[in-house]
Structure 1
Amino acid sequence: MSEHEIKELIAAELTAVRSRSLAYTDADDELLVRQHSALMSPLVWDLAHVGNYEELWVLREAGGITPLRPEIDDLYDAFKHPRRDRPSLPILGPQEARRYISGVRGRVLDVLDKIDLDDPDPLRRNGFVFGLVIQHEHQHDETMLATLQLSGQPGLVAEGDLPPGRAGSASGAEEVFVPGGPFLMGTDLLPWAYDNERPAHRVDLPAYWIDRFPVSNGAYAAFIEAGGYDDPRWWSAEGRRWRENSGACAPLFWVRDGGTWWRTRFGRDEPVPMDEPVQHVCWYEADAYARWAGKRLPTEAEWEKACGWDPAADRARKYPWGDEDPGPGRANLGHRAARPAPLGAFPAGASAYGAEQMIGEVWEWTSSRFLPYPGFRSFPYPEYSEVFFGGDYRVLRGGSWAADPAAVRTTFRNWDHPIRRQIFSGFRCARPASPGDA
C-alpha cells in the first residue's frame, strides 16, 4: 500500500470513529453532564478527553504544534482524577467540548497531510500515532456505550440486524481440540499493535480442549438454577467475598419474573435470549461457572493459540479466519447491533482449530493476570500498560460487539479488575486434554 493510500485509510478511520463518538453523545446536555454510575465518567468528559488525547499525541508530540488548550490537560488526565471525582471538575460543557474536538481534528488532518510515514521516529513511522488515537477513541466509545447502558435511558442506542445462529448451539457444550506444542504469541509485525502485545515470543503449551462457542445465556441460566451462586464449592475465597458483599445472584441487568429471565438492555426490558453469549458477568462469576461445569477458564496463551495460530502455515493470523479484514459474514463487531449475536451465527469466522465467535460478541475473561511479555518495552508512555502490571487485573480477549475492527486482533490484550460487570464481558471454558485425546 502506498503512503497516499495509507493516509486515505487513516483519514477514513478518523472520520468513522468521530462520527461514532458524536452519535453516542447526541443527547440532551443534562444526560451528557450527569454521572450515571461512580464507575463511569460523565459522557461529556469522555468526549473532550479523546480530543485532548489527540492534541497531546498527534499535534504536540508528533506534529510539534504549540498547545491549543494546555490549561485543560490536568482536567482530562485519567490518572490524576478517578472517575468518581470527574463530575466535580470544571470540565468543558457539551457545546464547548464539541468545538474543541472539532478544532483539534482539523489540525490533526493537517499533520496527517504533511507527515512522513517512513520517518524513523517510531511514533510517526507507519502512522502509529494515528493508530494510537483511533484505537483510543474507539475504546472510549465502548466505554460510552457502557455508560449509556447504565443510564437506563431508552432510545439512545441504535439497534441493528444479526444473522441467525445455528440450531443446537445454545448449550455451549461443544469443544475443539488444540494439540500441544509451541506457537508464536504476541506480535512484532502489526504496525498499530500496543506495547503490551509485544514482543512476539514462543510459548509451548500442552494439549487442551476449549469451548467452540462462548458460554451462552441458556448454559449460564442452568448454572444459576442449579444453585451455583449459593454453592461455596464453585467459588474462590475472593469470589465468595465478592458474592457476599455484592449480593449478586445473576448477571448484571438480569431479573427473574416467574419462570422467565428478563434483562434491561439500553433502557428496554426483554426476555433473555438463551442462544446469545452471556455478558455482564465478572471474572469471579466466570470462574465459578467454569468450576461448576468441571472445567476452568483458559489462560490467555491458550486463548490466543486457539484463536489465531495457523498450524498448517506455522504462523499467527491477524484474525481467527486469516489476515483479511472482518466482514459482515465473519464477526459481530463495530456496533453492528447493540447485542451479541446468537451462537453459530458466524461459521466463516472460525479459527484454524474450529473455535467460533472468538472475535466480537463479548470480551472473554481468561485466567491470566495482566503481566508483561518477556522483553517488554514501554511505548509510547508507561501509563498505557506498564503501570497496570502486577495488580489484580485479569486479561480479557477477543473484543465485544461494541469493539471496532480497528481496535481488535488476535493479539489484542484488554484487562480489568475481576469485579467488573458493567463491561461487555463473557467467557468460554477450557480443560486439559487426557492421554489419547486427538
Structure 2
Amino acid sequence: MTDVSPLTEAPNPVRELSDEALRSRAAGALERARARSTALTAAVDDDDLVRQHSKLMSPLVWDLAHIGSQEELWLVRDVGGREPLRPDIDDLYDAFQHPRASRPSLPLLGPAEARAYVAEVRAKAFDVLERAPMTGRPLTEAGFAFGMITQHEQQHDETMLATHQLRKGDPVLHAPAPPAARSGPLPGEVFVPAGPFVMGTSLEPWALDNERPAHEVEVDAFHLDTVPVTNGAYVEFLEDGGYDRRELWSAAGWAYRTEHDITAPRFWRREPDGWWRVRFGVHEPVPADQPVVHVSYYEAEAYAAWAGKRLPTEAEWEKAARFDPATRESRRYPWGNDDPTPEHANLGQRHLSPAPAGAYPKGASALGVHQLIGDVWEWTSTDFAGYPGFRAFPYREYSEVFFGPEYKVLRGGSFGTDAAAVRGTFRNWDYPIRRQIFAGFRCARDAAPGERA
C-alpha cells in the first residue's frame, strides 16, 4: 500500500517575524498605498476631484477622505485608543449610509481639507504603529489591523483607478507598456485531475474573514484555459453574432443585454478598420493578444457557452492556482510561496492595461496555468458565501452582508490590484452586471469520463 502525504496549506513566513520586522513591513505597505492614493488624486485638478464622473462611482475626493476615516476608526481610535479627530464626519464617509450616486450632494471635505485630514490621520497611525503590540488581540496579531487598512486603501485605489477610466478628457495617468509575451506556444487548456485540496487559509496573517478558514474541498477533474480569454478570441465571438444569439445567454443575462443595448465590451467601438477602445483617455486599436477586460459576468457566461465551455467554479479556480500535486500543498501563490515580483504578475498599476497572454511564465502555477494573478479579475460561476466555519471579523459589513446569490465571486486581481490586496486565497465579489471593473475571465470544461483520474 502506497502512503499518501497529507494535504497541507503552505506555511507563512510572516508569522516568524519579530515585532520590529512586522512594524517595518506594515509601515512599508501603508506608505506604498498612500503614495498611490496621492498619485491618483494629484493627477487631476480640484474640479475633477469633486466631480462625479459616473453614478457608479464616488467623487475621487470622497474616496480619499473615506480612506482616512477608516484609518482613523481602526488604527487611531481602536488599536491606538486615541481621541477621535473628526467624529463629525463619521456618517459622511460611511459607505453603507450613502450610496455612491448620492455622495456628491453631501457636505464633503474639500480637496485641501481632505488631504490635510488624511495626513493628520496617517501621522497618528504611524505613532500608534510604533507602540502597538503585535500579539494579544486578534485585531493586532501579526499587524493584522495595519494590513487590513493597507488592503482597504489599495482597494479604494483600484476603485479610483476605475473612476479614472470612466473620466472624460485627455490622459492624465501614464505608465510603461506591459511586457510582451515571453512564453513559447502554450497549450489551449490545462488538465486538472480530480481530488481534494486545501482551499482558503488559516495561516495567512493578513487574510480577510471571507478567506478563512482553510478546509478541504473535493473537485472533479476538469480542463481550464491556460490563459485568460484574449481580445482576439473575444472578437471571434463578436463577429459570430455572439451578442445577438439568444441561445447563448442566460435569461438574466439576455434581459440585461437587451435592456441596455450592450453589443461589445465596455469602452469598445467598431471602426471601419476594426475594433478600438478607450483606455484612460487613450484611443487605440484593441490589442488582440491581451486578455479581454471590462466584460460582465453575463458576457463571460455567453462567451463560454459559445465556446462550448463554461465558467470555472471558485474552487476549480483556486485548485488550479494553488495546488501542487507533487507536494499536495496549497501554495500562497500560483508560482510558490514568495511574494509577487514584476517577474510573476502584472500588479500594482505598474502598467495601465493587461499584459499579453504568456507575458509571465515565471508566474505559472504548478499545474501550468498562466496569469492567474494580476492582469484581469476573473469571473467564476460561484455565488459569494462564507466558507464552512466562517466567522465575521472584525465587522460584518466587510463580507457577511454581501453573502447571497446577488453577487458572483471574482478571483486573481487585475493590473490595478496591489500585491497587498491579492493572493491565492483572496476573494472579490460584485454584481454580475458590472463592467466598469477590470474584469475578464477564462473558461473551463468538464473532463471526459476516461480522463477523471
TM score, norm. by length of structure 2: 0.94
Q: Does 1:191 align with 2:208?
A: no
Q: Does 1:106 align with 2:123?
A: yes
1:400, 1:424 within 8 Å by CA — same for their partners in 2?
Answer: yes
Q: CA deviation at 1:174?
A: 0.5
Partner of 2:149: 133
Partners in 2 of 1:116 and 1:345 — Cα distance? 42
Q: Does 1:175 align with 2:189?
A: yes
Partners in 1 of 2:398 and 2:183 — Cα distance? 42
Q: CA deviation at 1:152?
A: 2.5
Return the match for 1:200 from 214, 227, 231: 214
Q: CA deviation at 1:166?
A: 4.7
Q: For 1:52-81, what per-residue CA distance to the aligned partner results, in whole angstroms no more than 9, with x for missing partners?
A: 000000111111111110000000000000
Partner of 2:297: 283
Counterpart AA for 1:150: L
Partner of 2:373: 359
Gaps of 5+ in 2: 1-16
Within a 5 Å distance, the mapping from 1:418-429 to structure 2 comes to 418-429=432-443
Return the match for 1:157 from 173, 180, 183: 173
Please give the secondary structure, in 1, of the residue aligned with 2:201: coil
Cα root mean square deviation, aligned: 1.2
Q: CA deviation at 1:336?
A: 1.2
Partner of 1:30: 47
2:183, 2:359 within 8 Å by CA — same for their partners in 1?
Answer: no
Partner of 1:322: 336
Q: For 1:63-121, what per-residue CA distance to the aligned partner results, in whole angstroms no more than 9, with x for missing partners?
A: 11111100000000000000000000001000000000000000000000001102x21
Q: For 1:319-348, what per-residue CA distance to the aligned partner results, in whole angstroms no more than 9, with x for missing partners?
A: 100011111211101111100000000011
Partner of 2:14: none
Partners in 2 of 1:173 and 1:79 — Cα distance? 45
Q: Does 1:347 align with 2:361?
A: yes
Within a 5 Å distance, the mapping from 1:11-22 to structure 2 comes to 11-22=27-38
Partner of 1:211: 225
Partners in 2 of 1:200 and 1:8 — Cα distance? 28
Task: Spell out structure 1 runs of 4+ moving beyond 4 A.
Answer: 166-169
Return the match for 2:104 from 68, 87, 90: 87
Partners in 1 of 2:388 and 2:351 — Cα distance? 38
- Which of 388-397 and 148-157 deviates more? 148-157
Partners in 2 of 1:8 and 1:148 — Cα distance? 31
Return the match for 2:239 from 182, 205, 225: 225
Q: CA deviation at 1:436?
A: 2.5
Q: CA deviation at 1:435?
A: 2.3
Partners in 2 of 1:73 and 1:398 — Cα distance? 32
Q: For 1:400-425, what per-residue CA distance to the aligned partner results, in whole angstroms no more than 9, with x for missing partners?
A: 00000011101000000000000000
1:24, 1:156 within 8 Å by CA — same for their partners in 2?
Answer: no
Please give the secondary structure, in 1, of the residue aligned with 2:244: coil
Q: For 1:167-224, what per-residue CA distance to the aligned partner results, in whole angstroms no more than 9, with x for missing partners?
A: 786xx97000100000000000000001000111110011000000000000000000
Q: Does 1:67 align with 2:84?
A: yes
Please give the secondary structure, in 2, of the residue aligned with 1:25: helix
Partners in 1 of 2:183 and 2:232 — Cα distance? 13
Partners in 2 of 1:144 and 1:82 — Cα distance? 16
The 3 A distance-change label for structure 1 pair 82 and 391 is farther
Please give the secondary structure, in 1, of the residue aligned with 2:379: strand
Partners in 2 of 1:342 and 1:154 — Cα distance? 25
Please give the secondary structure, in 2, of the residue aligned with 1:392: strand
Partners in 2 of 1:167 and 1:70 — Cα distance? 54
Please give the secondary structure, in 2, of the residue aligned with 1:387: helix
Q: Does 1:262 align with 2:279?
A: no
Counterpart AA for 2:354: P
1:320, 1:351 within 8 Å by CA — same for their partners in 2?
Answer: yes
Partners in 2 of 1:28 and 1:389 — Cα distance? 38
Q: CA deviation at 1:129?
A: 0.3
Partner of 1:58: 75
Q: For 1:111-135, what per-residue CA distance to the aligned partner results, in whole angstroms no more than 9, with x for missing partners?
A: 00001102x2100111100001000
Q: Does 1:123 align with 2:123?
A: no
Partners in 2 of 1:378 and 1:154 — Cα distance? 43
2:183, 2:361 within 8 Å by CA — same for their partners in 1?
Answer: no
The 3 A distance-change label for structure 1 pair 106 and 87 is same
Partner of 1:44: 61
Partner of 1:248: 262
Q: For 1:248-273, what per-residue CA distance to the aligned partner results, in whole angstroms no more than 9, with x for missing partners?
A: 11000000001310000011100000
Return the match for 1:307 from 297, 321, 330: 321
Partners in 2 of 1:135 and 1:285 — Cα distance? 29
Gaps of 5+ in 1: none
What is the identity percentage for the equivalent residue pairs of Structure 1 and Structure 2?
Answer: 60
2:290, 2:355 within 8 Å by CA — same for their partners in 1?
Answer: yes
Q: Does 1:393 align with 2:410?
A: no
Partners in 1 of 2:58 and 2:147 — Cα distance? 24
Partner of 1:376: 390
Counterpart AA for 1:37: S
